[in-house]
């Protein structure tokens, strides 16, 4: 089979004009049926597949969509990115995924690279507290962008995320109804969501007439499970828990906490003989498979990804959000499992 290097060579060997071939690869339905059949027959004869990325770059408006998350190895971001990716593909866009790995400089470099790629739009989950606000703001002013997951107040035209205060209210009320009021277990916050969850915990506990107890373990970065496990072991060994019920700031911390409890021989759950109850927030994809399965509040991955992509597509089409800045927050769903 003849190896073809570029579209010009393919057009020459197939006997079809270069503009017609280009038109076909942009939209097969845009050429006559007989021409399409001739091109597809030639594709079967020659070893050639077009560089779709280059085709996109040559358009006045590309079909590329940038998707940027803080840490793609985090199953939460992997799951929501998977949802976004599929929605982009279904709409005829080509998603390009980037991970900032928790690093502000890398996040800025990704935004600079995206400008050169001329994306039709970008779905951005910023680092949050670690982000360079001015860099994010400049990018949002230059490229149609929807922020999701982590909000930066006043930046960009739209933010789609979760109602963290509602998440916490649901789980705290449930834990107080069914046993001892919970303490709140967290690490050094990596984004605004962590602060919102802690503040909501304090407010809900006080509204219910309970004294809040916030326990923070030291540690930075995205190794949440390791940080939580090491911190929990130290706290368990020094009897720092005033209650036998622990609400973790997110499910990844809860997974680390469960590991520490196992190491100390503590049985988790609400059955007779259990030493502690443990709950989390997010419904991390692995939460149902912990031992015991983790009680949590589920993020609405489908709703967030659907609204974020739909909002971006409308912005690409020239529709500006009705308000000065669109903010949409989706409520969570309490998921009761065996851990609490």
Instruction: Examine the domain organization and report whether 88 and 170 are in the same domain.
Output: no
Residue 121 backbone dihedrals phi, psi, to 5 degrees:
-170, 175
For residue 151, is it within any domain? yes
For residue 82, is it within any domain? yes
CA distances from 159 to 7, 105, 151, 308, 312 (A): 40, 22, 6, 8, 10
Instruction: Examine the domain organization and report whether 103 and 182 are in the same domain.
Output: no
Instruction: Examine the domain organization and report whether 173 and 279 are in the same domain.
Output: yes
Tokens of 8: 């010009």
Instruction: Examine the domain organization and report whether 84 and 191 are in the same domain.
Output: no
Instruction: Examine the domain organization and report whether 276 and 326 are in the same domain.
Output: no
For residue 340, is it within any domain? no
Instruction: Examine the domain organization and report whether 177 and 284 are in the same domain.
Output: yes
For residue 338, is it within any domain? no
For residue 18, is it within any domain? yes
Instruction: Examine the domain organization and report whether 175 and 205 are in the same domain.
Output: yes
Domain count, the chain: 3
**Domain that residue 152 falls in:** 64-162+301-331
For the whole prediction, is pTM greater than 0.85?
Answer: no
| Residue labelled with tokens 């080509």 | 94
Instruction: Examine the domain organization and report whether 140 and 169 are in the same domain.
Output: no
**Residue 17 CA to chain centroid, in angstroms?**
44
Pairing of strands 296-298, 245-248: unpaired
Instruction: Examine the domain organization and report whether 207 and 267 are in the same domain.
Output: yes
The one-digit pLDDT tens for each residue of the chain (340 residues) are 566 767 778 888 888 887 787 777 767 777 888 888 888 888 877 777 665 545 454 555 678 999 999 999 888 899 999 999 999 998 889 999 999 999 999 999 999 999 888 899 999 999 988 899 999 999 999 999 999 999 998 899 999 999 999 999 999 999 999 999 999 999 998 888 999 999 999 999 999 999 999 999 999 888 999 999 999 999 999 999 999 999 999 999 999 999 999 999 999 999 999 999 999 999 998 999 999 999 999 999 999 999 999 999 999 888 776 667 899 999 999 999 999 9
Q: Give the residue from 149, 152, 117, 153 showing the smallest Cα distance to 131.
A: 152
Name the packing angle between helices 75-90 and 301-316 (round to 10°).
Answer: 40
Instruction: Examine the domain organization and report whether 158 and 169 are in the same domain.
Output: no
Domain at 154, CATH number: 3.40.50.2300
Counting Cα atoms < 13 Å in the Cβ hemisphere of 232 gives: 28
Residue 328 backbone dihedrals phi, psi, to 5 degrees:
-125, 125
For residue 55, is it within any domain? no
Instruction: Examine the domain organization and report whether 19 and 144 are in the same domain.
Output: no
Can you say whether the dihedral through the CA atoms of 70, 256, 210, 272 is positive or negative?
Answer: positive
| Residue labelled with tokens 């059955």 | 271
For residue 25, is it within any domain? yes
Q: Give the residue from 109, 13, 28, 33 showing the smallest Cα distance to 68.
A: 109
Tokens of 51: 């560089």
For residue 154, is it within any domain? yes
Instruction: Examine the domain organization and report whether 308 and 230 are in the same domain.
Output: no
The two most distant CA atoms of the chain are separated, in Å, by 81
């Amino acid at each position: 089979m003849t190896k073809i290097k570029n579209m010009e060579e393919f057009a020459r060997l197939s006997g079809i004009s270069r503009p017609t071939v280009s038109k076909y690869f942009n939209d097969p339905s845009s050429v006559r049926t007989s021409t399409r059949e001739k091109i597809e027959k030639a594709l079967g004869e020659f070893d050639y597949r077009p560089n779709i990325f280059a085709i996109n770059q040559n358009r006045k408006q590309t079909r590329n969509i940038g998707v940027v998350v803080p840490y793609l190895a985090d199953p939460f971001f992997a799951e929501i990115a998977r949802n976004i990716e599929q929605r982009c593909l279904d709409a005829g866009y080509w998603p390009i995924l980037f991970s900032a790995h928790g690093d502000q400089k890398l996040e800025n470099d990704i935004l600079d690279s995206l400008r050169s790629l001329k994306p039709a739009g970008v779905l951005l989950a910023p680092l949050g507290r670690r982000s360079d606000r001015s860099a994010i703001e400049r990018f949002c002013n230059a490229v149609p962008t929807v922020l999701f997951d982590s909000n930066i107040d006043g930046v960009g035209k739209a933010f789609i995320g979760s109602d963290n205060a509602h998440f916490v209210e649901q789980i705290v009320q449930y834990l107080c109804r069914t046993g001892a009021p919970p303490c709140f277990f967290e690490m050094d916050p990596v984004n605004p969501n962590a602060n919102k969850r802690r503040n909501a915990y304090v407010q809900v506990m006080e509204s219910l007439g309970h004294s809040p107890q916030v326990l923070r373990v030291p540690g930075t970065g995205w190794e949440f499970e390791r940080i939580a496990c090491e911190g929990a072991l130290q706290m368990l060994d020094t009897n720092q828990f005033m209650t036998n019920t622990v609400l973790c700031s997110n499910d990844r911390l809860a997974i680390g906490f469960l590991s520490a409890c196992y190491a100390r021989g503590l049985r988790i759950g609400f059955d007779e003989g259990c030493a502690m109850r443990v709950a989390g927030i997010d419904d991390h994809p692995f939460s149902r498979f912990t031992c015991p399965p983790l009680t949590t509040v589920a993020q609405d991955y489908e709703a967030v990804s659907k609204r974020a992509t739909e909002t971006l597509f409308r912005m690409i089409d020239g529709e500006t959000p009705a308000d000065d800045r669109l903010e949409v927050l989706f409520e969570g769903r309490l998921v009761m499992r065996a851990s609490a």
